[in-house]
């Protein structure tokens, strides 16, 4: 399945803003590459080390790297969701502060850092822009004594990279609709027609991680 999609990806995005390797190309802020330059950041475990350094050592330099990458994206995300620039800036700071405080809850065998940041930003949007509570499922924690296996972390990050590739290969109209859904521009009724995303493998991977977590908790 992904082999086919890869073929399409290599041919197609050249004409778009995205280069043939858009994922790498976008790792720049104001023209400066901010990721993968100091050898500390394996492509397959992007940003995971920085979160661990915050969790284990309150590492402000690691936080600054994450901030430089994610804060402008959170701000853009919130502005597309209807916030003005000043509020979006304030909320982006709060989201990043939450990331610091919740670093111990991040589980890299179930989500990438980008996914985790998205969930915090989404909840901030619901709280501040929609003024609604956000019920979340019961928390499942590894606890201080157990950590996910590095192999599981790598596998999840790889599945996510494949999901990105597959999404970049979607017809542009469908991709735009998906983006609108996540920016909060589609009602839950309009989302009905937006399924059919290639999520089978990543879903299985997350399910395995949940099974291991349940086992560890018992």
Partner 1 sequence: MSQSIKHHLTDELLMAYAAGSLPEAFDLMVATHLSLCDHCRARAESYEAVGGHVLDAQPDAVSMSDSSLAATMALISQGAPTPKPARPGCAILPTPLQDYVGGTVDDIQWKPIGMGVKQAILPTSKEATARLLFIPAGVAVPDHSHNGTELTMVLQGAFSDEVDRFARGDVEIADEDLHHTPTADITEDCICLAVTDAPLKFSKLMPRLFQPFLRI
8 Å CB contact between 26 and 168: no
Binding piece for partner 1, criterion CB under 8 A, among 3-11, 36-44, 141-149, 198-206: 198-206
Contact call for residue 76 and partner 1 (CB under 8 A): yes
Contact call for residue 155 and partner 1 (CB under 8 A): no
8 Å CB contact between 126 and 81: no
Binding pattern for the stretch 25-44 against partner 1, x by CB under 8 A and - elsewhere: -x--xx--------------
For helices 85-101 and 60-80, give the axis angle rounded to 10 degrees: 140
Query: Closer CB to partner 1, residue 115 or residue 147?
Result: 115
User: Minimum distance between the CB of residue 6 and partner 1, rounded to whole angstroms?
Assistant: 16
Binding piece for partner 1, criterion CB under 8 A, among 7-15, 36-44, 67-75, 147-155: 67-75
Both tokens of 19, joined, read: 């280069």
Binding pattern for the stretch 156-175 against partner 1, x by CB under 8 A and - elsewhere: ----x--xx--xx-------
Among positions 84, 133, 144, 215, the unique one binding partner 1 when judged by CB under 8 A: 133
- Residues 6 or more apart from 161 whose CB is under 8 A from it? 23, 43, 44
DSSP letter (8 states) at residue 137: P
# binding residues, partner 1 (CB under 8 A): 81
DSSP letters for 122-134: HHHHHHHTS----
Among positions 119, 141, 143, 172, the unique one binding partner 1 when judged by CB under 8 A: 119
Among positions 8, 49, 174, 182, the unique one binding partner 1 when judged by CB under 8 A: 182
Contact call for residue 21 and partner 1 (CB under 8 A): no
Contact call for residue 100 and partner 1 (CB under 8 A): yes
Among positions 41, 74, 91, 169, the unique one binding partner 1 when judged by CB under 8 A: 74
Residue 185: other Cβ atoms inside 10 A? 13
Among positions 34, 87, 128, 181, the unique one binding partner 1 when judged by CB under 8 A: 181
Among positions 31, 135, 144, 171, the unique one binding partner 1 when judged by CB under 8 A: 135
DSSP letter (8 states) at residue 184: T
Q: What is the three-class DSSP state of 98?
A: helix
Name beta bridge partners: 29: 32
- Residues 6 or more apart from 127 whose CB is under 8 A from it? 133, 134
Angle at 57 between CA 56 and CA 62, to 5 degrees: 100
């Amino acid at each position: 399945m992904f082999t086919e999609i890869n073929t399409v990806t290599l041919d197609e995005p050249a004409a778009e803003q995205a280069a043939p390797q858009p994922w790498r190309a976008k790792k720049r802020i104001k023209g400066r590459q901010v990721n993968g330059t100091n050898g500390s950041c394996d492509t397959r475990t992007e940003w995971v080390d920085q979160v661990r350094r915050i969790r284990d050592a309150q590492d402000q330099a690691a936080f600054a790297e994450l901030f430089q990458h994610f804060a402008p994206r959170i701000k853009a995300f919130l502005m597309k969701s209807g916030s003005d620039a000043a509020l979006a800036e304030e909320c982006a700071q709060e989201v990043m502060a939450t990331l610091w405080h919740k670093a111990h809850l991040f589980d890299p065998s179930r989500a990438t850092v980008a996914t985790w940041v998205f969930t915090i930003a989404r909840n901030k949007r619901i709280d501040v822009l929609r003024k609604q509570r956000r019920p979340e499922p019961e928390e499942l924690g590894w606890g201080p004594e157990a950590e996910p296996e590095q192999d599981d972390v790598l596998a999840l990050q790889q599945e996510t990279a494949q999901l990105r590739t597959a999404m970049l290969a979607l017809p542009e109209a469908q991709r735009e609709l998906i983006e609108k859904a996540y920016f909060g521009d589609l009602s839950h009724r309009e989302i009905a027609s937006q399924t059919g995303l290639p999520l089978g493998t990543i879903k299985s991977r997350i399910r395995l991680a949940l099974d291991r977590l349940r086992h560890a908790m018992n």
